[in-house]
A and B are shown apart, each in its own frame.
Chain A
């Protein structure tokens, strides 16, 4: 069993973020991205995250903060009994929960890409 805490926050609606806990059955050879897909598909489809995978570890669409550090969820291996905290990737504007806007970097001095 894997114990996961996930950052939940809808900007403009929620006053402040909260964490929601989930228990996910362990499968050998799973990644952190598989965990999020499992939660969305089987436990809670209110979760906001980017359900996209390049299967190559290059596109960084699954970038999230895992236990305090930015990491690609698709290249993060999972062990049985792991306790993990997921937060949105640091440095980008939060859209909702774990989904961020990669086109809007929030670090000062960074170039803002044009989106709309």
Chain B
């Protein structure tokens, strides 16, 4: 290693961390407001982040029978009354405009008659899902095209932000590792937008890429941002568990099981149907049914249930009319699997982080100059998210955070970072390359964290298990992470990214566990076997988690209610 490591310096009005749907939308908004944005992303745009993996559905109100208030109501009820209604209203109100924006960026959206084609999916009172060709990937292609049109956006790809630096409690910039160059950077910024996605990677089975470690959530937490409802990880019911080439792929139950679409069957290993007749229930209800089957030993040897489209009463021709252009039909065919004839094994997988950094309607966090958008922001969807609200969330709050970040940049100046702090961070990220006795590879530690979280913080959870999980995670943080050792390669060192991510994973896993222990009830995707019922008297509230005097502080925070107060269990029961 050279004696003095290089550190490159930059300046930008707004630093955007993350290059998925929310990050790119935020950067576009900053540039449109005449400000300079620097966007740092861990991969290359369209080749990284979680957005490219999203299915085709994008909710927005266009249908003449539909109303904004119905969309709000569906989202509030679907979220089990835990979503902040001011945010839901903002998201719904601005939804239709964001669809027009995407169309302008060149995203391919299916049309019908004079407007957009819309279909009705579980949880929606009216047909509300716009159909994006190639799903989230198609959306990213359009966003990338738009971002490249703006000379005011500078992009650092394959780069990992490891620390946000502050002065007097206000963020002044960030330190990042540049994998292709093998060097480190410091960027001074007047404001910072965090748009880094969720932490699904903490669990064994996920349908997200390995980079989904919740890094931005920890970066914001370190700055003093309040995190909300971290215990709420959405488990998508039907994700493939076998064979290996398909493992992690989403096989949407909305289409494959819905009676108005394919009408396939979900079977246990004994060949019995596990769902009642009719429209499949929404995600949290469906996954509870599946988890029960699996725990009662009626799953396959790979831990899945069987999604069998050949059991559909519909003709092959009709089935193919729904599937022929869907990626989840085309992809398995490369491996000789035709899902209309061959059953596949599916199980619930970590899919979407409902909790995250607390924001307001403008994407502001409680830390001045720090904004969050997209999946890493927390208090929108509540305890369960409806299909098509995630991509919508990225665009609305990406836009809002970009707007607020750009406007606030006017009032602020650049500050120099404390040099010792920067050098200490540089030394910390480089230390993974120094040899250690009894060293561990990042891959080993990653596997260990995923094992602990799946064992103790999956579904169901209980006090005793969470306590054990926390003890084991403390061990990982204090003993395993410092032993991680990676090859001494500077240029595009995959293990370096791996080690930095595993370090984040260990820290985020602890925060998630603390939040899960704190919420003593079951709601949506958080299921406590020691508190199996919803407790509306005590827990119609957010868990709020914050760093205070270097300690984790937990408290309850009231849910923001505007027009849809909780009136009793009857009204909120699953549709």
Contacts and interface: CB of A to CB of B under 8 A. Distances in A.
Nearest to B210: A51
Nearest to B488: A46
Nearest to A76: B334
A75 B245 CA distance: 8
Interface in A46-66: 46-61
B102 to A, nearest CB: 17
Interface in B178-197: 180
Interface in A1-60: 10-13, 27-31, 33-34, 40-42, 45-60
A46 to B, nearest CB: 5
A75 B487 contact: no
A96 interface: yes
Nearest to B45: A103
A84 interface: no
Interface residues of A, number: 46
Nearest to A96: B492
A45 B245 contact: no
Interface string B135-156: 1010000000000100000111
Contacts of A116: 154-157
B95 interface: no
B328 interface: yes
* Interface footprint category on B: 35 or more
A2 B362 CA distance: 54
Nearest to B209: A52
Contacts of B155: 114-116
B137 A58 contact: yes
Contacts of B115: none
A101 interface: yes
Nearest to B49: A52
A4 to B, nearest CB: 16
Nearest to B207: A55
Contact of B53 (A45, A56, A95): A56
B243 A95 contact: no
A98 to B, nearest CB: 10
Contacts of A74: 245
Greatest chain B CB density within 10 A among A54, A59, A95, A99 is at A54
Given A52-B48, A55-B249, A101-B180, A41 B244 contact: no
Interface string B54-90: 0000000000000000000000000000000000000
A68 interface: no
B43 A50 contact: yes
A77 interface: yes
A67 to B, nearest CB: 16
A31 B335 contact: yes
A82 interface: no
Contact of A61 (B48, B243, B328): B48
B498 interface: yes
Most chain-A Cβ atoms within 10 A of its Cβ — which of B211, B245, B331, B494? B245
A29 B245 contact: yes
B412 interface: no
A94 to B, nearest CB: 10
B551 to A, nearest CB: 35
Nearest to B150: A114
Contacts of B156: 116
B53 A55 contact: yes
B335 A57 contact: no
Given A40-B443, A45-B487, A77-B245, A54 B52 contact: yes
A114 B442 CA distance: 33
Contacts of A46: 487, 489, 495
Given A53-B248, A61-B48, A103-B44, 5 more contacts: A10-B491, A45-B441, A46-B487, A55-B248, A114-B155
10 contacts: A28-B243, A45-B486, A48-B494, A52-B209, A52-B210, A59-B47, A61-B44, A77-B245, A103-B157, A116-B157
